[in-house]
Structure 1
Amino acid sequence: MSERWARAVLSTYSLAGSLAYPVIGTYVAWRSSKGKEDPVRRRERYGRAGRPRPEGPLIWLHAASVGETLAVAPLIETILGYGINVVLTTGTVTSAALANERFGERVIHQYVPLDLKPAISRFLDYWKPDLAIIAESEIWPMTILELGKRRVPQVLVNGRLSDRSFASWKKRSYLAEALFENLAHVVAQSDLDGKRFAALGARPVTVSGNLKVDTPPPPANERELQALKRQIGNRPTWAAISTHDGEESVAAEVHMRLRARHPGLLTIIVPRHPDRADALVEEFSALGLKVSRRSAREAIAADTDILLGDTIGEMGLYLRLTEIAFVGRSLTGEGGQNPLEPAMLDTAVLSGKNVQNFRDSYQRLIQRGGAKLVRDRDMLAGAVNYLLLNDNVRHKMMLAGNATVGEMRGALARTLKALDPFIQPLIVKSRLKGTR
């Protein structure tokens, strides 16, 4: 009964997608007007190729956005080293820019096609991938089913399931099984993620750890970094990074509480979505705070209260300006953001308690003393104040965070081991092609 029900639901999903396909252009055009789509490459969202397909074996690797793209970058480099072609799909303009910056012409980047049968079929008919690798938690029903029909092996890497996603799938376990049975292998981030995928019908499941641990720290332009350090001088600093709506206000309030105790205090605020910068400047100015916007290259003056990091791709720069970082989407948001980047850069990590999406990373950091969770604004202010006053405690946290990241490394090697049965035949195929 449940199997028939799953087939019926998926058939309805497929039919609804096909019916919606002719009018979906309005939605894509709206996203384009908001800067969320590349207007020049909108056709790729319908599965229309923007590049010629190269000869030989080809792997389709999908990473949703910037974070996932960074996580799988070392994996892509390894695959390219085998002489295998890679089509990398992402869903955002920023991740497309990152892919171009990181790989250039070595990788074929395409925007991921909409999860509608006409778009997916057109994409697969053109690219004919020999293997599909999906990063983290991108479960698209039509994509999975169409790959399954074509008997293309599908492997989920760096897999994770948040509490909310797992609960949602659990309520529809019949549907989860119908989809997850198409996956040839799931490589999960943590033991808990692995158990969750197995409970939903995925087989086989192995655990690799988090691929983000095996990536290098985010870079910084050395000239820009030194210029900012000269402007800041010996002023005390702390940062609130990857913040979501409401957390910037909390950071501003913490700044106002602490600046009398720490003369010259500079607060660095890096919103997750820089397009909110205008509203934030208005809000901070109304509080009597002087703001320097990074996007406008405004100098940090002696009376600057807040450096607003409203740029993309400069997290490594901001983190190198401080030794204390609060990681957002954890006080007013849900799920948390990645704490590994600040830990890699010798930063004492603070966070709210809503870190379900990065539970394993936070647990390890907290156990080793590299991170501390705070309950609310008052507790955050107290923690920042304490760390600014106590150099030894702060430096111990910084060292513990870096050491924890070192202990967590190895996910790339474990992921490659899981992928080996799927990639080895493609390596042989590529070499045979080269000898003809």
Structure 2
Amino acid sequence: MKFYSTNNPSLKVDLRQAVTQGLAPDNGLYMPERIPVLPKAFFDALPGISFEDMAFTVAQAIIGDDIPKEELQRIIKHTLQFDAPVVKVEEGVYSLELFHGPTLAFKDFGARFMSQLLGYFAKQQHQEIVILAATSGDTGSAVANGFLGVPGTRVVVLYPSGKVSEIQEKQFTTLEQNITALEVEGTFDDCQHLVKQAFLDADLKKKFFLTSANSINIARLIPQSFYYFYSFAKVQALKKPVVYSIPSGNFGNITGGLLAQRMGLPIHRFIAATNSNDVVPEYLKTQTFRPRPSQQTISNAMDVGNPSNFVRMLELFGKNFEALSKDIRGYAFSDEETQQAMRAVFAGQGYIMDPHGAIGYLGLKKYVQETKEDVTGIFLETAHPAKFKEVVEDTLGRTIEIPPALQKFMQGKKKTIPATKEFAAFKDFLLTKF
């Protein structure tokens, strides 16, 4: 399989180049040159296929022969060492819990897959791979833990100071080894901009083998399609149209779902649910994409004002607004609405949602209210509520137990390097410290 740049379809590379480069030389994002449609027999047998076998079939269809079969099976096995249960919350509404991995966030799927893929490629070269990751919360922890101790790799996590939860911060600032955390005075968009500038800088590219672990990297996107197939199989017997509501920030998660749909998974519709950073919902109403500085909210992992994967969404629909707006609805919700939903669902069903999952829930409820469709609705619960302990406890008025997996991080000592949002300083840091 070849992968092309969204800025230049004639620029094509193999999987190794796409993954190790992260961002194309022309600043575009890589996309598979064709999206294979899986056979009907696969979908007919879906409910009886294991998560690992399902994921292997999907990954192999996209990757082709670029990775040996045995190696891809090993990578899949490493990635999927935990479940993604579909939990009924109320009639017609289900939560896809993606927080049962080691850092209790959905990004464990992509980070673990990518770390093994890059580790495989690192063995084939004699230069260390330096992975740059901007985070608004969960990406940093998932990537740092996914790559911790992986030979031939070094990770630099950039995050906005004071804009991630304490637990999230501890998950990537206490590890050391091959992990470095930069605490940036700015927003997530500033962090992401620094990463993108680094990939275009001739001096850095000459000295380092740079790649990205953000969802701009195609290796993050592929495994994010796995749990759409898996969760669809869980509700297939209900024989109703299936709608997914995705709490969205950088829009990698919804793009993974769109990829699954293009491969033949009969998803009825997607809902792009955001907080007040409503760039994409606004686009779906006005056809105008207006990126702007992100606003800080209680659903901080979605505080993105210029989502990178928007260009991939456009590519998947051939830049056809009518087709895109038919398959995707967009809704935005305030912090107050988010907290009201968290209280209502806990009071009525005893189910605790984190702020991001609550926005997914709200998007689903609004869609059903507007359309009156009889559907099976699945919202993505992207992180364990304990990762946002302060917000959840303040909202629900009760204590949230911290799982053992998170408690071990809280015992570690935070170690970060202060940084500004100026690229010259970031470049100097990389050149002099590494």
TM-score band, normalised by shorter chain: under 0.3
TM-score (structure 2 length as normaliser): 0.27
TM-score (structure 1 length as normaliser): 0.27
- Give the structure with the higher percent helix: 1
